[in-house]
Chain A
Amino acid sequence: MNSDNIKYPFHLTTHPFQGFWDLKYERNTRIDLTISFFILLSLMVTNVLSNQYAGFIVNIYNPEEMNSLMEIVYVLIPVLFWCTANWSLTTLMDGEGKFVEIFIATCFALVPLVMINFPWIWLSNFISMQEAMFYYLSQSFAVIWFFFLIFVGNMTVHQYTPSKTVGTIVLTIIAMGFIAFLCLLFFSLIQQIIAFFSVIYQEIVFRY
């Protein structure tokens, strides 16, 4: 991977319209997919590390409830839900994006969350209560930037108008809720089926 590929995510965050366009039409999908996974991984690492190592002023954690695996799940599940929901909707709504493109655009939009939060893990150890304001300010800034990139990315990938993009995003969030509900339903049904068969097995074993 040459230095251009390393610089590209940062270039995209500062030039989103140009960046996402190139992402869709100009660049190699395979390389971008690799970068996407790398971004996803670094976001997981950032979240895990900030849970443990962010300064005491901004981070009180209960060691008994800390679970790094859950932090990974908290990143992975929303991204997957978002991509699935978005893809399912946009295929019906004349969107031009393929699933891979949606996934790549989403992952690239996560860059500000890593770029801003990662240095703050270290920096937050050297601030006082008054200076913690800057910490929270930049955290919110990162989230706003992320939302903006998601918006631009979605618009470019599907070649939508801005208003249609907003509509799609709202519908996507609703669809994510449906997916979560279906997943819960599925798992609870599976659980009951397993319980049913295990009870039958036990009955048989006790009888003979």
Chain B
Amino acid sequence: MYLIKKRYITLLTVIILAFGTGIPVVKASVDQRSYNYSYWADAVPAPPAYQAVRIIDGDRLGIEPLSEPNDFHVSTDRTIYVADTGNNRIIILNETFNVVDVIESFFIEESKETFSSPQGIFVNDEHHVFIADTGNNRVVHLDANFDLIKIVEQPESELLSDNFTFRPLKVAVDYAGRLFVMADGVFDGFMEFSVDGYFTTFIGANRVRVDPIEYLWKRFATREQRSQMVNYVPTEFTSLDVNQQGFLYATNVDNSDDVIKKINARGDDILRREGYFSPIGDVRYTETDGASRLIDISVADYEIYSVLDSRKGRIFTYNGDGHLLYVFGGIGNRLGEFHTPIAIERYDDYFLVLDRELGEITIFTATIYGQTLNEAVRSYEQGDEDLAHQLFEEVVNMNVNLEFAYTGIGKALLQQDQYEKAMHNFEQSLDQNNYSKAYLLYRNRLLRDHFTVIMSTILGAITIITIIVVYRKIAKRKRRVLVEQ
């Protein structure tokens, strides 16, 4: 009896052990808000790429609460400059998110000057600070010690109308020191200023979009009626950023395919749109919600850029080719959600989001998935195909829905002459062009390898057919001869 009982217990233990190890580990925080778009424009689940870790606001920083901050910028040494618009000051935080300095004024030849609702801020590689001092109608250029270098005030030019008032909203400076200003009520693009602060030209105007029905109405309207109608004007930009090479990245709310633009020195849009969809934020949206309203852009290293959708509070990140990498954020009350997101900044594996009404900054860090994907895109962009291959494999293991990652794997396999595997991967990413390239190489190799077999089969077939034809002819002739006899 005792023995039997003991045996039962052993059996039970074995069963528990066997099944116990088989129970899948429940993954913490499966973020339902994280998604991506498939080739068929379906929103498919994706693992979260970034997770909110902390919120910082005035109280936690030990200063007066922020009041309607509008913009911030992270310099190359990870110092954060916040334009606290409502309090007319600039707050400077170090990389551990502690206050280093608060600038409320600067000196113009001994006389103290203050800011008036500064809306935009930019810091260049030499830590010079450029502030769009909106209320004072000027752009202030300070050096690393916050001493004045120059002030850009209302420009005089024949390109500008007489009643134009200069209200700078956002600023950006390229490596050559050219200053780009997004000003209120300017429809001709960004205002470009030379290093000395002289207005040179407008750059990158949005094209006028004409509603065909409205155009037809205008054709039939009288001159008086027409003057009452709204004029067609190009849409204004909503934000700008500059990358290392000096290309301007800009967003607008045009409701078209080019809401994001990469503008070169000539003012042409050179953004690559080779993803399954143009980078426009949400691909699917309801008519009542409307398309994504992109209000800020942050371009990071290796052509990766992120845009902020103020309507849904989501942040979309794309690679240089225009493939959607990941989406996160949202409007709400939980950590990682916002009330009125106004600006984003992206550096290393961090992501900062500035909330205007709440006056707080949410800090995100990349998850393992996000880090791997970032690293994969970076190494791919650098041309390190082997590392990219390996990292994309890891990414795909974490998220099979990320279709464009298979293109990355396929291209690496193509380099290694593994055509058949490459073809399979291109089929996964529905990339016909690359599939075709891989297939041509594969077919050529196949034909070359089996050349002797193929050629001898063809030659053999030709010989046999000729023999049969000749034999038949001879047989026919013989028969005829026989008949004639």
Residues of A within 8 A of B (CB): 56-57, 60, 62, 64-65, 126, 128-130, 132
Contacts and interface: CB of A to CB of B under 8 A. Distances in A.
A60 B40 CA distance: 11
A129 B433 CA distance: 7
B60 interface: no
Contacts of B427: 56
A58 to B, nearest CB: 9
Given A60-B432, A64-B40, 14 more contacts: A56-B435, A57-B432, A57-B435, A57-B436, A57-B439, A60-B39, A65-B40, A128-B436, A128-B437, A128-B439, A128-B440, A129-B432, A129-B433, A129-B436
B424 to A, nearest CB: 10
Interface string B435-451: 11101100100000000
B430 A60 contact: yes
Nearest to A126: B443
Contacts of A128: 436-437, 439-440, 443
Interface residues of B, number: 12
Interface string B408-449: 000000000000000000010010110111011001000000
Nearest to A60: B430
Nearest to A59: B432
24 contacts: A56-B427, A56-B432, A56-B435, A57-B432, A57-B435, A57-B436, A57-B439, A60-B39, A60-B430, A60-B432, A62-B40, A64-B40, A65-B40, A126-B443, A128-B436, A128-B437, A128-B439, A128-B440, A128-B443, A129-B432, A129-B433, A129-B436, A130-B436, A132-B436
Contacts of B39: 60
Contacts of A129: 432-433, 436
B43 to A, nearest CB: 14
A24 to B, nearest CB: 39
B421 to A, nearest CB: 15
Contacts of A126: 443
B438 to A, nearest CB: 10
DSSP majority for the B interface? helix
- Greatest chain A CB density within 10 A among B427, B430, B432 is at B432
A132 B433 CA distance: 11
Contacts of A60: 39, 430, 432
Nearest to A62: B40
A116 B439 CA distance: 24
- Greatest chain B CB density within 10 A among A126, A129, A132 is at A129
Nearest to B441: A128
Contacts of B436: 57, 128-130, 132
B355 to A, nearest CB: 39
A60 B432 CA distance: 9
Contacts of B443: 126, 128
B29 to A, nearest CB: 29
A128 B430 CA distance: 15
Nearest to B440: A128
A75 B430 CA distance: 28
A132 B440 CA distance: 12
Interface string B51-80: 000000000000000000000000000000
Interface in B141-194: none
A128 B437 CA distance: 7
Interface string B31-60: 000000001100000000000000000000
Q: State the 8 A-B residue pairs at the shortest beta-carbon distance, nearest first.
A: A129-B436, A128-B436, A128-B440, A62-B40, A56-B427, A128-B439, A60-B430, A57-B432
A84 to B, nearest CB: 36
A65 B427 CA distance: 18
A129 B434 CA distance: 9
A34 to B, nearest CB: 35
B38 to A, nearest CB: 9
Contacts of A56: 427, 432, 435
A153 B295 CA distance: 62
A2 B63 CA distance: 98
Contacts of A132: 436
B56 to A, nearest CB: 45
A124 B335 CA distance: 53
Contacts of B435: 56-57
B223 to A, nearest CB: 43
A134 to B, nearest CB: 14
A60 B437 CA distance: 17
B447 to A, nearest CB: 11
Interface string B288-323: 000000000000000000000000000000000000
Contacts of B440: 128
A139 to B, nearest CB: 17
A130 B436 CA distance: 8
A198 to B, nearest CB: 32
A51 to B, nearest CB: 15
Contacts of B40: 62, 64-65
Nearest to B423: A56
B39 to A, nearest CB: 8
A110 B433 CA distance: 33
A65 B40 CA distance: 10
Interface string B353-370: 000000000000000000
A57 to B, nearest CB: 6
Nearest to B436: A129
Contacts of B432: 56-57, 60, 129
A129 B443 CA distance: 13
A124 to B, nearest CB: 12
Interface string B237-254: 000000000000000000
A130 B39 CA distance: 23
Contacts of A130: 436
Interface string B458-471: 00000000000000
A129 B435 CA distance: 9
A57 B439 CA distance: 10
Contacts of B433: 129
